[in-house]
């Protein structure tokens, strides 16, 4: 086992991190659906990042966290911001804008744990055994059942599919890059750099590709507040911390439960129905996650 995997005496915050990340990340899709009713996709994303950076500048100046030495740590932070914050989310929004259905996009991006499992031995030196591969296979099968049951799976153009695949590759590369090069930098400083890079990328894209339409309504502010505080600041920080302290293939397997968890949250919050075929998919995804996460 890698020397960066979870020790026997796992800290309490790391024990609850997977469940908390899953709850916050899955809820984010519900609030994103609400927010996109009032703003263009990339404009909404740039506004979200602008709010995050504005919130972080004050604490960063007040706390004065230790600055990384040398150029390399700064480049690593910037690369994570470019791959996950700018790359994954921008390509996701561009795919939806190009006509990709939410179900098709979810089906494409749900392959991320499989890609991480394939590449982790080469890039991060992790060993993915037969039991974990069985869990990954069950996980992707269960997630696909939930997605197909809940949403239409439609690809309107090659561009839409291409953006979806780029979103998948960006999240996969960001996860493995964090595992390979991630360093213990103060989270306030790390988030400030990463979201600053993301803002510098997404804002020009919004200006170039959209009319930047925004309706300043309570629904927009509520959605923005949740995505900024819970999704951008807490959930992403938990994800990167888990990747640094555990194995990338194990952490990535949590994404198998995102479609089931999102379906349940949307049912509770928005009153959306859960088709009958989705329930066995949830059970299969949960069984796959158990096989991936259980101790050897």
Residue 200 pLDDT grade (very low, low, confident, very high; cuts 50, 70, 90): very high
* Within a domain: 10: no
| CA separation for the pair 106, 108 (Å, rounded) | 5
Check if the beta carbon of residue 80 is closer than 8 Å to that of residue 174. yes
pLDDT recorded at residue 3: 41
**What kind and span of H or E run contains 99?**
none
* Within a domain: 1: no
Mean pLDDT of 26-50: 86
- 150 or 254, higher pLDDT: 254
Predicted TM-score (pTM) above 0.85 = no
pLDDT recorded at residue 10: 55
Structure tokens at 239: 């994800």
- 278 or 173, higher pLDDT: 173
> Residues of the chain with pLDDT > 90: what percent?
16
Which domain range does residue 92 map to? 17-293
pLDDT recorded at residue 123: 67
Q: Is the pLDDT of residue 8 over 50?
A: no
Mean pLDDT of 228-247: 83
* Within a domain: 5: no
pLDDT recorded at residue 2: 39
* Within a domain: 3: no
pLDDT recorded at residue 156: 66
Residue 47 pLDDT grade (very low, low, confident, very high; cuts 50, 70, 90): very high
* Within a domain: 192: yes
Within 8 A by CB and 6+ apart from 168, the residues are 108, 109, 111, 112, 115
Q: Is the pLDDT of residue 4 over 60?
A: no
pLDDT recorded at residue 32: 80
Please tell me the total count of domains within the chain.
1
* Within a domain: 33: yes
- 108 or 197, higher pLDDT: 197
- 1 or 81, higher pLDDT: 81
pLDDT, one tens digit per residue, over 119-153 is 777 666 667 677 777 877 887 787 778 777 766 55
* Within a domain: 91: yes
**What kind and span of H or E run contains 209?**
helix 187-209
* Within a domain: 11: no
| CA separation for the pair 84, 166 (Å, rounded) | 11
């Amino acid at each position: 086992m890698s020397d960066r995997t979870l020790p026997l005496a796992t800290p309490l915050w790391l024990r609850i991190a997977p469940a908390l990340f899953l709850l916050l990340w899955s809820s984010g899709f519900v609030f994103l659906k609400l927010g996109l009713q009032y703003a263009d996709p990339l404009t909404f994303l740039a506004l979200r990042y602008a709010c995050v950076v504005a919130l972080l500048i004050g604490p960063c100046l007040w706390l004065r966290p230790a600055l990384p030495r040398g150029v390399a740590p700064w480049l690593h932070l910037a690369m994570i911001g470019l791959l996950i914050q700018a790359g994954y989310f921008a390509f996701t929004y561009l795919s939806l804008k190009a006509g990709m259905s939410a179900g098709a996009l979810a089906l494409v991006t749900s392959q991320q744990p499989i890609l991480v499992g394939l590449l982790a031995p080469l890039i991060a030196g992790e060993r993915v055994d037969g039991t974990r591969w069985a869990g990954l296979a069950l996980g992707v099968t269960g997630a696909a059942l939930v997605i197909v049951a809940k949403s239409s799976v439609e690809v309107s153009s090659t561009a839409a599919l291409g953006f979806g695949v780029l979103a998948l590759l960006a999240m996969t590369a960001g996860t493995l890059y964090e595992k390979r090069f991630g360093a213990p930098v103060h989270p306030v400083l790390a988030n400030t750099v990463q979201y600053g890079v993301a803002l510098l990328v997404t804002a020009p894209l919004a200006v170039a590709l959209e009319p930047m339409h925004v309706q300043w309504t309570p629904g927009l502010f509520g959605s923005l507040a949740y995505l900024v505080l819970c999704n951008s600041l807490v959930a992403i920080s938990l994800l990167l911390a888990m990747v640094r302290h555990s194995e990338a293939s194990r952490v990535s397997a949590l994404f198998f439960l995102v479609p089931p968890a999102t379906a349940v949250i949307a049912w509770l919050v928005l009153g959306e129905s859960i088709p009958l075929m989705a329930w066995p998919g949830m059970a299969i995804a949960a069984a796959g996650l158990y096989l991936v996460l259980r101790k050897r």
